[in-house]
């Protein structure tokens, strides 16, 4: 499932910069799945529930130093700052995301945003209480290095929380060819790890796995919501229609792969992993 051109970070940045209006129209400020403990939650409530569940597992509290790997528009960072009093440093490679994040106010310690690859930063060792990545691992060129860098950044007792798109270990050749491989190419992912790969990389980095759960059934409603929003936007949004019909647009295929993602999650070949690990046992 590897897909690693040399300019991976630039491809990811370009994808999010070109589709900035598209993402903000369909996702809003949170560029991640919702987590539904019950069907009664609205999509907005579900995405915030996921961010609060991350905060719970990361044990975020007043003064907690948090590194957000792939911070997007900064919505999770702002929530952790305003509701928990966390001190957040976020990384994004997208200039459009960086501008949006920096331009929004927060009630609480203002997050610090870095426009750079997470693996190219200069933060000191043991400077973080928590390292978090919400659906960003599969965009990073060397995922094993993310675990090593997280282990270096975390103080003793610090916590790593990752929400990760995963491939089912038994995905068929057809599922890979028609679903998973195109999702990686069109979504600018390096590939899709399995749960066993995540477990191995965590332990090789010297971290202790506390939990590694499959929450696919509780997040996949996200794509039904997104597809409905696409349907409505096709009627009302000329920009989105142009993206879908313009064969020269470099990210045109991503709009169509949304349906692939819906199918892949519902037949069980695309999974949603929830990893919590600790530094120093």
Residue 38's CB is within 10 A of a number of other CB atoms, namely 8
Sheet holding 128-134, edge to edge: 112-115, 87-92, 65-69, 128-134, 154-167, 270-279, 207-214
How confident is the model at residue 233, as a pLDDT?
77
Label residue 147 by pLDDT band (50, 70, 90).
very high
Task: Tell me how far apart the alpha carbons of residues 92 and 122 are, in angstroms, rounded to a whole number.
Answer: 15
| CATH code for the domain in which residue 174 is found | 3.40.50.150
Q: Is the pLDDT score of 80 beyond 80?
A: yes
Label residue 3 by pLDDT band (50, 70, 90).
very low
Comparing 36-45, 144-153, 249-258, the range with the smallest average pLDDT is: 249-258
263 within domain boundaries: yes
State how far the alpha carbon of 47 is from the alpha carbons of 26, 35, 64, 218, in Å.
13, 6, 22, 11
111 within domain boundaries: yes
1 within domain boundaries: no
Please state, for a pLDDT cut of 90, what percent of the chain lies above it.
Answer: 76
Closest CA to 162 of 6, 273, 238: 273
Please spell the DSSP secondary structure of 90-133, one letter per residue: EEES-HHHHHHHHTS--SSSPPEEEES-GGG--PPTT-EEEEEE
246 or 1, which is more confident? 246
24 within domain boundaries: yes
* Boundaries of domain holding 149: 8-279
The two beta strands, 270-279 and 128-134, are unpaired
Task: Tell me how far apart the alpha carbons of residues 214 and 192 are, in angstroms, rounded to a whole number.
Answer: 14
Q: Is the pLDDT score of 52 beyond 70?
A: yes
3 within domain boundaries: no
Closest CA to 243 of 7, 23, 3: 23
Task: Tell me how far apart the alpha carbons of residues 163 and 274 are, in angstroms, rounded to a whole number.
Answer: 5
Q: How many domains does the chain have?
A: 1
Residue 110's CB is within 10 A of a number of other CB atoms, namely 15
Burial of 248 per CB tally in 10 Å (0-12, 13-18, 19+): exposed
2 within domain boundaries: no
Residue position matching structure tokens 């007043």: 62
102 within domain boundaries: yes
128 within domain boundaries: yes
How confident is the model at residue 262, as a pLDDT?
96
% helix, strand, coil for the chain, step of 5: 50, 20, 30
Q: What are the phi and psi torsion angles at 48 (to 5°)?
A: -70, -30
């Amino acid at each position: 499932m590897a897909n690693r051109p040399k300019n991976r970070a630039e491809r990811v940045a370009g994808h999010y910069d070109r589709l900035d209006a598209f993402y903000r129209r369909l996702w809003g400020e949170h560029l991640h799945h919702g987590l539904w403990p019950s069907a009664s939650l609205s999509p907005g409530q579900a995405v915030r529930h996921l961010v609060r569940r991350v905060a719970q597992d990361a044990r975020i509290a007043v003064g907690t130093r948090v590194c957000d790997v792939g911070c997007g528009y900064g919505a999770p960072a702002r929530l952790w700052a305003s509701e928990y009093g966390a001190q957040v440093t976020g990384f994004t490679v997208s200039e459009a995301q960086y501008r949006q994040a920096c331009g929004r106010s927060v009630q609480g310690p203002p997050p610090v945003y870095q426009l750079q690859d997470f693996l190219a930063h200069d933060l000191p060792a043991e400077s973080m209480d928590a390292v978090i990545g919400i659906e960003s691992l599969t965009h990073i060129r060397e995922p094993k290095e993310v675990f090593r860098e997280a282990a270096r950044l975390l103080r003793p007792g610090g916590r790593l929380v990752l929400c990760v798109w995963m491939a089912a270990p038994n995905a068929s050749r057809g599922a890979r060819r028609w679903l998973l491989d195109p999702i990686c190419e069109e979504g600018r992912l390096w590939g899709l790890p399995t749960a066993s790969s995540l477990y191995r990389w965590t332990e090789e980095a010297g971290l202790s796995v506390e939990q590694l759960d499959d929450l696919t059934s509780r997040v996949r409603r996200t794509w039904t919501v997104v597809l409905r929003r696409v349907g409505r936007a096709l009627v009302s949004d000329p920009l989105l229609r142009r993206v879908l019909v313009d064969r020269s647009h470099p990210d045109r295929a991503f709009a169509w792969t949304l349906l692939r993602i819906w199918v892949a999650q519902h037949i069980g070949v695309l999974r949603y992993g929830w990893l919590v690990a600790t530094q120093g046992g």
